[in-house]
Structure 1
Amino acid sequence: MISTHSSTAPDEIFHKWTPAWSPDHTDPSLPPVTLITDTHDQPAYTTTALAAHQPEHGRIAVHPTPLATAPAYLAHDLIRALGKHLPAPHIDPPWWTSNADESWRVAVAWTQALNISHYVICRAHRITGRHLEHLMALRERTRIRLTLVVSGPAPAALSTTLNTVAHHQIDSIQDTRQHLNADQAPTPRTLASYAWWQRAPFPGPHDESWYELPPRPRRPAGKPDEVTSSTRGTPTRLSSTDSQPPAIALQTFTRADTSSAHLETVAQRIHTRVAHPVHAAAVALRALTGYGTDQLAQLTIPTPHRPRADLPTDLPDWARLLRDAARIHTDLQGYIRHDLTDRLSGEDTPFRLSAWDKNDVAHATETCHLVAARVRRARQRP
């Protein structure tokens, strides 16, 4: 609970959600955990579980990375299963990928924003006790259905956890198939509303088209230099059309009912290549409006009580979802004060970007093959 006393310490005011779970605080109304036991490690169980991966029905199947024991790794596996790519091994990773708490906040934000209702975890006997605790914390926060597929005897950590929560067990392939199809929505979500399901190639090919961002708005004021630094300290300047092949200019967004093939391509790239929801939303707004990374932290989004804002209310569906995902993550970070009035709560400010975040947004912009608009200086009179 957040205290409203005037002398409350900052750490108590801004309370971040962390992937901490305790059996003593488990909500008994959550859907029971399903344990599928594959005693003899038959391939049919894993094949059936992976075939249950149907994002249009809100069901995601995850095959954890073998022998990956670091606390953040299972969160990364969930993020990848949602169609988001982390940087390739030869690319300096964003700071948050090595932080377990932040990685799980990213997984929670995407889970809620994408309306995921069911996770199926294959080879669950290989995940560590720490991973299991984080997964149960995600279940508590998002209220998802959770199915664990275990090949062979259940490890001690899993048995101990299941003894503290409501669960049921399945031990036949017929019951497994019936269970995994039981939550199938009668009317799946239309692909037209989820353009990113048509994934862009990752990484982007060298001959991929580049797009030039719309002209930078004059307000809010800021420093327009797009200088970024990698985690190894190597200075990197965001590419401009002066150093890249001719780019296709993106027009400033005007109405949600106007679409273009260029923006659809950009949407697919962002949803595929940018794994952090705040960074993805930032790149999307840059592509639609031309704002620089230095301006993002000052922008406001519409809220029910404060409809006037810097950003339009009628964003395209794909960008509005990213905006919502960013807001969920901002809330998980503890930056939204629900105990204050709407004007002071911070609900309308989705981008709280540190220096590292600005670097990551700039790199993500370039990863999507987007370049800053050229500065067109007026001619000086002789």
Structure 2
Amino acid sequence: MTSPATAPDDTLQKWAPQWSPDRTDPALPPITLITDPHDQPAHTTTALAAHQPALGRIAVHPTPLATAPAYLAHDLIRALGKHLPPVDTDPPWWTGNADESWRIAVAWTQALGISHYIVCRAHRITSRHLEHLMALRERTRIRLTLIASGPAPAALAEILNAVAHRQLDTLEAAHHHLTTAHDTAPPPADRYPWWQSAPFPGPDDEAWYQLPPRPRRPVGQPDESTTSSHGTPTRLPSQDNPPPATALTSADHDVVARRIHTRIAHPVHAAAVAVRALMGYGTDQLPQLIVPTPHRPRADLPADLPEWVRLLQDAARIHTDLQHYTRPDLPAHLFGGDRAFRLSAWERNDVAHATETCRLIAVSTRRSHPSKRKRR
């Protein structure tokens, strides 16, 4: 009997933010280290002024004294203009998971066309954070500038000894480096909603919009109340006190795009909320949505989605690739590769709450039982 074909091991493993000096790519842009031994405020001011997201340049000021492995990834996500879920909600599981947090940072970095990260106070970054940052650099091939406002720790010195780098030790040289364009093309102009942020959290008087009517297919169990990753039953605030909401139209999509960009940090959840805003799918239907494949051309999502939604889909697809949900030896429909969203039960809960964080609310539907026909 012939054994079934199996995919290579490297296609079945999630990408992990792991790095070692012997596996670095020498073709990557060299790291730039700006030394500031006297901790001059001008260095930090210059670095933060160089923050130009529309040009692909992001300045990051790490959270002071934050040592948990996920924290620096969260700082990168916030520097991209996004916020983690509000503190008064049950936090999604990924916020405490370092590998998943770094996968999210990588997905947004690539989808948004980020080409340069500037990290302030690099002398305070832990060795674990530095390794994760190097792994992100290897994956995304970005330019990386580190500003050490104090003696460089041994961990940073060890990394610099293993990779190509250059060192700048004057404010004038640092200013020239941070404000000079680097052979990178700016992102397309039609990505503008991603650099126009919405207030976070949303103000109490912010307008609410109704999602489009729920499609009849695929069939599911309409229920916006699920459980968190801790198994705790949760309900949406609107279920107890529905706010007044108006119908969502295409004229409101720019507003919705800015809210999604600002308030949803997970790319798959952001793409799911965008699809709900366009087509009204329930969270129970999202995991069943099919995308076209060569073997099965049927699709639940139209091909002509707006550009702002396609960008979110790109970020979600990159995140899925980092999870290595792929089997190149099998047709997509045999391993679930034709699914638009892979959402666990608790992630459905996260998507439902993220939808309301953007002030979007599903129209309540009541199941009606058809009356029995009278027999003649």
TM-score (norm. length: structure 1): 0.89
Aligned pair 1:375/2:365, yes or no? yes
The residue that corresponds to 2:319 in the other structure is 329
Letter in 2 for 1:59: R
Q: What is the aligned-residue identity percentage? A: 71
Letter in 2 for 1:291: Y
Q: State whether residues 268 and 316 of structure 2, in contact with CA within 8 Å, keep that contact through their aligned partners in structure 1.
A: yes
Alpha-carbon offset, residue 92 of structure 1: 2.0
The residue that corresponds to 2:58 in the other structure is 60
Q: 1:241 to 1:90 in 2, by over 3 A?
A: closer
Alpha-carbon offset, residue 228 of structure 1: 2.6
Aligned pair 1:74/2:62, yes or no? no
Report the 3-state secondary structure (helix = DSSP H, G, I; strand = E; otherwise coil) of the residue aligned with 1:161.
Answer: helix
The residue that corresponds to 1:309 in the other structure is 299
Letter in 2 for 1:99: N
* Cα offsets for 1:202-243 (capped at 9, x unmatched): 011111111111111111111111113346655333355883
**Which segments of 5 or more consecutive residues in structure 2 lack a partner in the other structure?**
none
Counterpart-to-counterpart distance in 2, 1:304 and 1:271: 32
Select between 365-374 and 228-237 the one with higher mean Cα deviation: 228-237
Question: Residues 179-198 of structure 1: matches in 2 within 5 Å?
Answer: 179-183=177-181, 188-189=186-187, 192-198=190-196
* Cα offsets for 1:174-193 (capped at 9, x unmatched): 11111112335787446653
Q: 1:70 to 1:327 in 2, by over 3 A?
A: same
Report the 3-state secondary structure (helix = DSSP H, G, I; strand = E; otherwise coil) of the residue aligned with 1:267.
Answer: helix
Q: 1:80 to 1:187 in 2, by over 3 A?
A: same
The residue that corresponds to 2:37 in the other structure is 39
Counterpart-to-counterpart distance in 1, 2:46 and 2:54: 17
**Aligned pair count?**
370
The residue that corresponds to 1:50 in the other structure is 48
Alpha-carbon offset, residue 7 of structure 1: 7.3
Counterpart-to-counterpart distance in 2, 1:172 and 1:227: 57
* Cα offsets for 1:314-336 (capped at 9, x unmatched): 11111110011001001101102
The residue that corresponds to 1:296 in the other structure is 286
CA RMSD after TM alignment: 2.6
Question: Residues 1-382 of structure 1: matches in 2 within 5 Å?
Answer: 6=4, 14-183=12-181, 188-189=186-187, 192-230=190-228, 234-238=232-236, 243-251=241-249, 259-260=250-251, 262-302=252-292, 308-341=298-331, 346-375=336-365
Letter in 2 for 1:43: P
Alpha-carbon offset, residue 284 of structure 1: 0.5
Letter in 2 for 1:35: L
Q: State whether residues 11 and 326 of structure 2, in contact with CA within 8 Å, keep that contact through their aligned partners in structure 1.
A: no
Q: State whether residues 239 and 371 of structure 1, in contact with CA within 8 Å, keep that contact through their aligned partners in structure 2.
A: no
TM-score (norm. length: structure 2): 0.90
Q: 1:12 to 1:24 in 2, by over 3 A?
A: closer
Counterpart-to-counterpart distance in 2, 1:282 and 1:299: 11
Select between 193-202 and 103-112 the one with higher mean Cα deviation: 193-202
Select between 80-89 and 238-247 the one with higher mean Cα deviation: 238-247
Counterpart-to-counterpart distance in 1, 2:155 and 2:12: 32
Q: State whether residues 214 and 279 of structure 2, in contact with CA within 8 Å, keep that contact through their aligned partners in structure 1.
A: yes
Alpha-carbon offset, residue 269 of structure 1: 0.9
Alpha-carbon offset, residue 279 of structure 1: 0.4
Counterpart-to-counterpart distance in 1, 2:301 and 2:53: 29
Report the 3-state secondary structure (helix = DSSP H, G, I; strand = E; otherwise coil) of the residue aligned with 1:119.
Answer: strand
Report the 3-state secondary structure (helix = DSSP H, G, I; strand = E; otherwise coil) of the residue aligned with 1:162.
Answer: helix
Alpha-carbon offset, residue 305 of structure 1: 8.3
Select between 262-271 and 112-121 the one with higher mean Cα deviation: 262-271
**Which segments of 5 or more consecutive residues in structure 1 lack a partner in the other structure?**
252-258
